[in-house]
Amino acid sequence: MYESGFELEPLIRYASSYDSFKTERIVCELINEGVAAIFGPGTTETSGIASSVCNTVEVPHIITHWEREKVGMTNEDSSPFTLNLYPDTNVLSRAYADLLIDYTWKSYTIIYEDDDSLIRLKDILQIHDPQSSPVTVRQLGDGPDYRPLLKQIQTSGESHIILDVSNLDKIITLLRQASEVKMMEEYQSYIITSLDTHTLDFEELKFMRANITAMRLIDPSSFDLMNAIHDWELGERQFQRMYRIAAESVKTETALYHDAVRLFAAAVRELDATEEIETEKIDCKQPQQWEHGKRIAEYMRLRTDNGITGRIVFNDDGKRSHFQLEITELSKEGFKKIGTWDPEHHVNYTRTLGEAYEQVIEALQNKTFIVVSRIAAPFLDYRKSEDGEVFEGNQRLQGYSLDLIDAISKILHFNYRFEIVPDGKYGSYNKVTKQWDGLVRHLLDRKADLAICDLTITYERRTAVDFTMPFMTLGISILFLKPVKQDPNLFSFLSPLSVDVWVFMLAAYLGVSILLFVLSRMAPDDWESSHPCNQEPEELENIWNMHNCIWLTMGSIMGQGCDILPKAISTRIVACMWWFFALIMLASYTANLAAFLTMERMDATINSAEDLAKQSKIKYGAVKGGSTMKFFQESNFSTYQRMWAAMESSRPTVFVNNNDEGRDRVLKGKRQYAYLMESTMLEYFTERYCDLVQIGGLLDSKSYGIALPLNSPYRTAISGAVLKLQEDGKLSALKEKWWKGGMCKKPESGGSDDAAELGIDAVGGVFVVLGFGCLFALIVAILEFLWNVKKVAVEQKLTPWEALRSELLFAVNIWIITKPVCNRLSESESPKSTPRSQKSSRYGSEAQSSKEKSVHSVNLNNEKVNGFTSRSLSHLNRIGNFFTRKNNSD
């Protein structure tokens, strides 16, 4: 390097990295030769002695490597002649800690080389929150086989690794072996602390899918570096060597040496301008100092410069406390800058989200995702072959999940392969074994890239896996069997009142009738003159015989009333009470009858979760280890806590392995088992199993998402695709496709069973009663008729047959509407009238007698009386004569 006025000449000496005695000797030899500054040596073990010699003889000492802090050393103890261009340990450690905070790594494993690593990473160890998962610190060991160590880390499930190894060859070996044990997949992330990571041979690394982040001090695109490379290439050409030096291959130490020399040269040049600087041969053994050394060292420390390692600023200890680091990430083209770090601004990303997204999309192109799921229609089911065709791969499956992944794959252009989770479970954490099962376990074991089914996004699962945007929202509800329809009952009109009530009513009816009969006989007001016009009757009569009492009470309870009524106060009170009783009973019966005839009777009324919680007859459960079960297990709401306690203590268990099992248990449970499940599947079941019904509304609100391993780079892209499908209405179309098609009709809103019209089955009994009643009446009528025939035969001295015939002919002749009273004859013929005949004439009503007179006389002259035998006619004429006589006598 040539500078105006002076020339810098390098004197290069090699010293052992650990031999401080030899190093001291070499440093003294150099000082003895009259050097202006000592650069190096490059290890902490030997630079100390060099620093001490330079400090004694006041020769500037410049180092460019990481220096371990001396225990108990203060600012005053630091050598004023030693400057270190390598970033200060404390600040560098802060940079890595900031990166970690930014990456939100909660758990990580540090692989370190030696004890110095732990000093370098002290901030990383300090930021760790003891509440979260533990940080594992593993020493690399001598190697060269690091696979056992890597396998142990893999078994622990750790996917975040901080690698603090300075030897680049070791780093490459380690990464290669990590790739062999499948520790370089897309879900593993590495931070390599070496500032030379960018110089690794990325040809080998670029096929590794793990996310590798590193920091570097050099900006390969900087103008200073280009110039420096140009100088170096020129210098090489002097020796006829044609080297092309790639900016990315420049090591930190080289760059630091370059900057150190430039800094020194600039300081000397500037100081030389005011006072000429001459080198001096100094003997270390003598108490001798270089007169310009102090000035140069102090000036260098105060000066700020820009080198190929960025801005060079020293603090009072001669340490480089201000610098900028480039954050780089391994891509197909090598280590690409994604951001910067400096002590003021900390992590600052230069890569836009769009660029990051593009990178992921690019990575997706040729990827085949392993998608794990579980069999549960309509989400996923085996395809049934109709013509014996055997399906392979994804073809053997069908369902909502498959269609959704297929739609996403078409947007993001990736391939996929479905696998079925062996244990068929969703994924729950066992607090005893500290292990996950089901789909979550599969993802944690990195056996799959995506997990899809009716997998609910829960807080607990989110700690183990990532979720995309939800693709379906739902809530917990209750699946139950519809009320059993009662068999139609002909006599359902009897149902409104219980048997007891009917019996009591009958007893009351008879009791009141008898009471009325007894009281009326006792009450004087119910004894009346048989002829109302006769003010002084010789005898009184009482119409309240048992027959009439029964008729009055029957008329009242039937709501019809009666044409005769009691007159005495006591009997009227009894009648009033009976009417009141009849009023209430009739109203109750009528009100209840409507409900009984139209409504289906339920064994128990369950309308909500509260109703379930309140009773113990109907058992209820959920899918084992599912989010529904967890909802009740972890709820703070007293009703759900009670329900959880009931479920937990139920024997046999009320939990099932899957929704199908739960559905079957409800179907077979005779309304003794209700199943708590998510509304999506519930809807699917109720559309296909018409006996099933949803009880109440939703108890909570949650959603299903596609699960991915934690920190999956594909999460954002897949979430974006899900959102797009949702906006395009494809998600609803898919739901429609897989959910609809059930045969069960939903009850129409507003119309329910209780408004349904009544069938003959429900009211047939009333017809039966009517029929039997009429039949009974007919039988009674026949008996009455025959009794009358017998009487007529006796009275008219006819044969029974003649009497029957004439009475029958008379009865069937519908044109005759009046009939002579035969017993008047007997009445006249036997003057001794019995009380019964008295009563009868009275009961027959006085109103009839005058009517009868005229009507009979008309009928006797009626020529239309055809078909009568001469005997019967003479019998009728005699009756007519009798009336004429009797009327005359009256």
Positions touching ligand ASP (CB under 6 A) are 426, 454-456, 622-623, 626-629, 677-678
* Eight-state DSSP code of residue 105: -
A 10 A CB-CB count for 738 gives 20
- CB distance 335 to 102 below 8 Å: no
- Name the minimum Å distance from CB 624 to ligand ASP: 9
DSSP 29-46: HHHHTT-S-EE--SSHHH
- Name the minimum Å distance from CB 677 to ligand ASP: 5
A 10 A CB-CB count for 873 gives 13
- Name the minimum Å distance from CB 458 to ligand ASP: 7
Cis peptide before 41 (omega within 30 of 0): yes
- Name the minimum Å distance from CB 159 to ligand ASP: 23
| Closer of 456 and 712 to ligand ASP (Cβ) | 456
Distance CA 565, CA 542 (A): 12
Residue 627, annotated ligand binder? yes
Taking the mean position of all CA atoms in its chain, how far away is CA 176? Answer: 43
- Name the minimum Å distance from CB 403 to ligand ASP: 19
| Closer of 195 and 453 to ligand ASP (Cβ) | 453
Distance CA 69, CA 116 (A): 10
Residue 46, annotated ligand binder? no
| Closer of 262 and 442 to ligand ASP (Cβ) | 442
| Closer of 165 and 478 to ligand ASP (Cβ) | 478
Residue 678, annotated ligand binder? yes
- Name the minimum Å distance from CB 659 to ligand ASP: 7
CA torsion angle for 368, 374, 380, 383 (degrees, to 10)? 90
- Name the minimum Å distance from CB 678 to ligand ASP: 5
Alpha-carbon distance values, 184 to 211, 298, 372, 476 (Å): 8, 49, 21, 40
* Eight-state DSSP code of residue 604: S
Q: Is 416 helix (H, G, I), strand (E, B) or coil?
A: strand
b (16+ CB within 10 A) / e for 26-49? bbbebbeeebbbbbbbbbbebbbb
Hey, what are 872's tokens? 């019967």
DSSP 775-830: HHHHHHHHHHHHHHHHHHHHHHT--HHHHHHHHHHHHH-TT------THHHHHHH-
Distance CA 462, CA 457 (A): 7
Residues in a beta bridge with 481: 692
- Name the minimum Å distance from CB 627 to ligand ASP: 4
Name residue 70's amino acid.
Answer: K
| Closer of 677 and 692 to ligand ASP (Cβ) | 677
| Closer of 321 and 650 to ligand ASP (Cβ) | 650
Residue 605, annotated ligand binder? no
- Name the minimum Å distance from CB 622 to ligand ASP: 6
Distance CA 58, CA 51 (A): 10
Q: Which residue is nearest to ligand ASP (CB)?
A: 626
- Name the minimum Å distance from CB 67 to ligand ASP: 55
b (16+ CB within 10 A) / e for 197-208? bbbbebeebeeb
- Name the minimum Å distance from CB 381 to ligand ASP: 16
- Name the minimum Å distance from CB 147 to ligand ASP: 37
- Name the minimum Å distance from CB 695 to ligand ASP: 16
Pairing label, strands 61-63, 82-87: parallel
| Closer of 301 and 630 to ligand ASP (Cβ) | 630
Alpha-carbon distance values, 78 to 47, 72, 294, 376 (Å): 13, 11, 14, 71
Helix H or strand E encompassing 707 = strand 707-709
| Closer of 320 and 374 to ligand ASP (Cβ) | 374
Hey, what are 756's tokens? 């349904």
Measured at the alpha carbon of residue 715, what is the angle toward residues 713 and 717, in degrees to the nearest 5?
95
Helix H or strand E encompassing 606 = none
Distance CA 296, CA 240 (A): 36
- CB distance 611 to 563 below 8 Å: no
- For residue 511, give every residue at least 6 positions away whose Cβ sits within 8 Å of its Cβ, in sequence order, or none: none
| Closer of 123 and 678 to ligand ASP (Cβ) | 678
| Closer of 83 and 677 to ligand ASP (Cβ) | 677
Which candidate, 776, 780, 808, places its Cα nearest to that of 872? Answer: 808
| Closer of 628 and 872 to ligand ASP (Cβ) | 628
- CB distance 79 to 67 below 8 Å: no
Distance CA 305, CA 475 (A): 64
b (16+ CB within 10 A) / e for 647-662? beeeeeebbbebbeeb
- Name the minimum Å distance from CB 634 to ligand ASP: 13
Tell me which residue has tokens 């490459």. Answer: 172
Taking the mean position of all CA atoms in its chain, how far away is CA 675? Answer: 15
Cα four-point dihedral sign 60, 61, 67, 69? negative
- Name the minimum Å distance from CB 453 to ligand ASP: 8
b (16+ CB within 10 A) / e for 153-169? bbeeebbbbbbbbbebe
| Closer of 632 and 882 to ligand ASP (Cβ) | 632
Hey, what are 28's tokens? 């003294």
Please enumerate, by residue number, every residue annotated as part of a binding site: 456, 461, 627-628, 678
Please enumerate, by residue number, every residue annotated as part of a binding site for L-glutamate: 456, 461, 627-628, 678
